[in-house]
Amino acid sequence: MDFIGLRAHTRAVPPKLDIHFGENLDVLARFKRARFDLIYIDPPFNTGKRQARLERKTRRAKDGDHKGFYGERYRTVTIGSKSFADQFDDYMAFLEPRIEEAHRLLKPTGSFLLHLDYREVHYAKVLTDAIFGRKSFQNEIVWAYDYGARSKKRWPAKHDNILWYAKDPANFTFRYDHVDRIPYLAPKLVTKEKAIRGKTPTDTWWHTIVSPNGKEKTGYPTQKPLGIIDRIINVHTEPGDKVLDFFAGSGTIGESAIRQGRSAVLVDQNEEAMQVMASRLAFARPKFHGWTPPAKPGGRALKKARKKARKKAL
């Protein structure tokens, strides 16, 4: 099997990618206990809003509404929208059975990472402490970014929170030697060798969001950057391990895992998420369960989904 960009890994068996369509509790109930080395989830943040991401394309046009390079005129048009509801009456009641399933499905040496924001993370930590045990809590990772509108009434909220739990706090995977290094803020205060090597990150990770105009962008709401996910996969798993994400969304966990020689299982109940993953992860030849991908991912079926999403947004 030919995996484009696949990094070398120690096991001869190539990584596999399985994608399940359905309500995650129903799907998870079919999995055997202690099956995964890492479980990462990025559930809806309970913002009380409908999360949407417009897809736009800029074209050259004589009657365009703005100027670009060399005085050329351009027009930006909306070609689609992807969205989902992000509102729960009792968010902890929604999370609890899913975190319990994560605990059941983790191997004894596995890690669980729960990605939320400031609205619910404090309540979620108390809940997850009760399920995993307070001693299993290892870190609260703060992903800080600097993008978007800024409030004039309070400090702008520009970070997410990732809670890391080790099922066995005395025995888990943390590959320190594989942590990517970042530049020193004051390189003249350290030796030349240290400045060249860089330093390891702390529990605060500075990283931009997915660029609205970058190649990585899929157009799916709440898509997380590969830079953040690559660090998690690389440090918290070994090559050949198996990873689970049951709020898969755009499939970032799947791409990162496969390209780093790990197998992955993804679950989502959103038709638009399945369309995005079918196109984005086609290189990995995933096996779909409960859903049939279009013959050509990104073709007519994806255009149909975009048209349907546009109608919802109107």
State the CATH number of the domain containing residue 142.
3.40.50.150
What's the pTM? 0.79
**Residue 7 covered by a domain:** no
pLDDT, mean of residues 87-108: 91
User: Is 3 inside a domain boundary?
Assistant: no
CA 257, 130, 28, 165: dihedral to nearest 10 degrees?
A: 10
Do the Cβ atoms of 239 and 259 come closer than 8 Å? Answer: no
* pLDDT over 90 (residue 51): no
What is the rounded average pLDDT for all residues in the chain?
85
Number of domains in the chain: 1
The answer as to whether 219 is a domain residue is yes
Q: Is residue 164 part of a domain?
A: yes
Judge whether residue 9 has pLDDT over 50. Answer: no
Q: Rounded mean pLDDT of 243-254? A: 97
Query: Does residue 10 fall inside a structural domain?
Result: no
Model pLDDT, residue 72: 62
Closest among 47, 75, 46, 50 to 60, alpha carbons compared: 75
Domain-located, residue 171: yes
Task: For residue 168, give its domain range.
Answer: 17-313
State residue 49's pLDDT score.
46
Residue 4 belongs to some domain of the structure: no
Asked if residue 240 is part of any domain, the answer here is yes
CA-wise closest residue to 109 among 39, 171, 33, 35: 171
Is a pLDDT exceeding 70 seen at residue 56? no
pLDDT band at 307 (very low <50, low <70, confident <90, very high): low
